[in-house]
Amino acid sequence: MLEPEVTTVVLPPSALSPDRSLQPRAGDALLLVDMQRDFLPGGALAVRDGDRVVPPALCLLNLFAERSLPVFASRDWHPAGHSSFREQGGPWPAHCVAGTAGAAFADGMHLPAAAGIVSKATRVESDAYSAFDGTDLGKRLGAAGVKRLFVAGLATDYCVLHSVVDAVALGLSVVVLRDAIAAVDVREGDGARALQRMQELGVTFAESAAVCSGA
């Protein structure tokens, strides 16, 4: 009886090692979008399973801090009675009111001293989903020589999407960490549509493990 032929497959080195193109380097920055308590389970405007984005986002935060690369964290910083609140005819329950516990960053999110905090939607009469809307984030990224922006946070279909659109419009290359974002999905499929829109813009999608593997 003939013995079955055994074929040995030898993987190229690139298949055995992490993608070095995803390793943070000079010219890169991290943007953590609205990782605030009110958007996490138990918060006033909780994203379902939003807490699952915290560990991968913290891995990225630690990596960028260790490499002394720029870190920015956006936050909703609403005045009381903000126009986006239902009590004022807006679409959302009151959330992330400046100075309240719900507006604080997620537990364990210890920003480096040099991190840039970007407060948005600070005027009662106007909302702002993008971290660039009404802020100086674009100017600060330019001053830091940033060419590529890694993005994580909440929520995929609102503040993450709008921030990514504006970053691309500024000429930045954008990497979105798929396991470090989550959608509100007010309408079923909003999150998927947001991902499709970002893909059309030429965004690179990656998993946090592919980035943190070089840490």
Catalytic residues: 34, 120, 159
For residue 128, give the 3-state DSSP assignment: coil
Distance from C-alpha of 165 to C-alpha of 130, rounded to nearest angstrom: 8
Query: What's the CA gap between 162 and 190, in Å, rounded?
Result: 13
Question: Quick check: 177 and 64 in contact, CB under 8 A?
Answer: no
Rg, the chain, Cα only: 19
Whole-number Å distance between alpha carbons of 46 and 39? 4
Distance from C-alpha of 115 to C-alpha of 110, rounded to nearest angstrom: 10
What's the CA gap between 171 and 102, in Å, rounded?
33
Sign of CA dihedral 135, 139, 143, 144: positive
Query: DSSP character for 40?
Result: S
Q: DSSP state, 30?
A: E
